[in-house]
Structure 1
Amino acid sequence: MDRLSLEILAIIVSYLNPSDFIEYVSVSRQWQFAIERYTFRSLRLKSDDYDFFTRVCSDSHRAAAIAELEYDVILPAYSDEQCAKFESEKDEKANNEAFTNAIKRLFETLHLWGNPSNDGAHKMRGRPIMLSLGAYSTTDPRYREAKF
C-alpha cells in the first residue's frame, strides 16, 4: 500500500464514502495524508472553535491542504428585548471588537503558516486560500436554536 503514489491515493479517496474515512485513515501514514488532504481541503470554522482549529491544523500537511476556508465570527449575544431594536453604540462597539479580534487571530495564524517554523519548514507552499467571512450572534433570529 505504501507504494501507491499520492496522486493514485487521492483518486481512490475521492471515490470513498466520507463516512468510511475512519476505517482507512489508519491503514498507513500515506493513507492518512491522502484522506486528510481530502477532508481538510474545504473547512468551515466558527471563531469559538478557533483554538481547536489551530491545534488540529498545526501539522504542516493539514495546513497545506486547506484550499477553502469559511470563517464565521460569533458576535456577543443579546436579549430578546434587544432583538427588535437597532444596535446601540455600546453593542456596535462590542460587535466591532469581537469581529476585529477574531479576524486578527485568524490572519496571525495564516501569516505564521506562510513563514518558516522552528524547524525551517514552510507550512504553506505559497498556495492561495479562498476565504469567506461571515459574522452573526447566536441570538440572531436565524441562528437561534428552536425552543420547545
Structure 2
Amino acid sequence: MRILVGKVGLDGHDRGAKIIARALRDAGFEVIYTGLHQTPEMIVTTAIQEDVDAMGLSVLSGAHNTLFPRVLSLLREKGAEDIVVFGGGIVPQEDMPGLLAAGVKRIFTPGASTSDVIEWVRENVPHRRTEERNHGTDPALR
C-alpha cells in the first residue's frame, strides 16, 4: 500500500509528519514524503503521479479549514476521490465535524500514537493498487 505524507501550506514544523512517515514505512507501507511548503495542487499532483492509496496531511498552521477542503476538491476534479485523506495537527474539536463532512476520514491530534495511526490505516484504507486499477492500461502494468 502506498501512502503520501505531506505538509501542505506554509507551516514549517515537520517533525510529526516525519515521525508518521517513518512509522508507516517501518510498518511495511510504501511512503512518499513530500517535504515542506507544498500547495494543495502540488500534493494532489504528487498523489496521482505516485498512485497512492491514501494521503496523510499535517497542518499545524491553523489553515486546516481551507487546506483540507481544497485538497479534497482537487482530488474530485481530477477523478481521484478514491484516495483516502487523513490528517494530523492542531485542529480544534469544533472544526472536526466540518472536516469530516468535507471528506477527511480521520484527524489525529497531538498525543495520538504512531501505532494508532498505523492501525487506523490498516483498517480503513482499501488497497487501490489492484488489477482493476490497471484495467485498460499498458499490459506491462498488469
TM-score normalised per structure 2: 0.32
TM-score normalised per structure 1: 0.31
Task: Compare the two structures and name the one with the higher helix fraction.
Answer: 1
